Amino acid sequence: MKALLTTAALLACLIAVPQGACAQTRKQIVAGEVAVMHDGISGSFEVREASSGIASTGTGGACLVFSEQSDGRSDCKTDSDCTLDPPFAGGYAYCLRQAGDSAKQGKCWVRPSGNYCLRSPTVPYPLDTKIAFPVAAAGNLEPVSKPLPGWWRVHACLNGKVNSTCGDVANPDKLISDGPPTRIP
């Protein structure tokens, strides 16, 4: 039911832009913790209004990312410094930094191929709403079953200007948030 409400809120924002919660105001994205449940793992994030945020309509998204170590794999400065081992072919490697340390060395984390993300590059997310993912085609929560043993965390990104995306490597107009690492046995 909550997924249907979130879908309805997303559609309402699409129709209502630029009014209300969907208007381009200063916002931030906050990555949640990894939720461990009997049938797998899921992640969550929220978009909030914040004077310390960036000008955004509230688009973006989040992915579950993995590492064998609690602080990430190898050292990196950009995503392109990270490699995908054969078991992760089709996934994506991210260079994540500690909060507030954008100038310091990062560590590599990997998003395996498959349904590990929730993205909305054009439709804004509702404000102050915990958004759980990944979701099935019908819009209901679909936890990752049998996750790899190791460390998992939520990597979230908020898009800035109307036509910017989190996937633009050189895009300074995005805001990143990473949740705490969670050990999965």
Largest CA distance in the chain: 46
Residues 6+ apart with CB under 8 A from 162: 24, 57
Q: Which of 168, 167, 38 is nearest to 111 (CA)?
A: 167
What's the pLDDT at 105? 82
CA–CA dist 172, 45 (Å, integer): 21
pLDDT, tens digit, 9 for 90 and up, residues 28-51: 999 999 999 987 999 999 999 999
Q: Is the pLDDT of residue 2 over 60?
A: no
What's the pLDDT at 87? 87
Q: What is the pTM of this model?
A: 0.83
pLDDT, tens digit, 9 for 90 and up, residues 99-135: 555 557 889 999 999 999 999 988 999 999 999 999 9
10 against 171, higher pLDDT: 171
pLDDT, tens digit, 9 for 90 and up, residues 54-112: 889 999 999 999 999 988 889 998 889 999 988 899 999 999 976 555 557 889 999 99
CA–CA dist 120, 100 (Å, integer): 25
Cα 35-98-107 angle, rounded to 5 deg = 90
Q: Which of 64, 70, 47, 60 is nearest to 142 (CA)?
A: 64
What's the pLDDT at 41? 97
Q: Which of 41, 34, 62 is nearest to 147 (CA)?
A: 41
What's the pLDDT at 38? 83
CA–CA dist 86, 124 (Å, integer): 35
Half-sphere exposure of 66 (CA within 13 A, CB side): 22
57 within 8 A of 47, measured Cβ to Cβ = no
Percent of the chain with pLDDT over 70: 78
32 within 8 A of 178, measured Cβ to Cβ = no
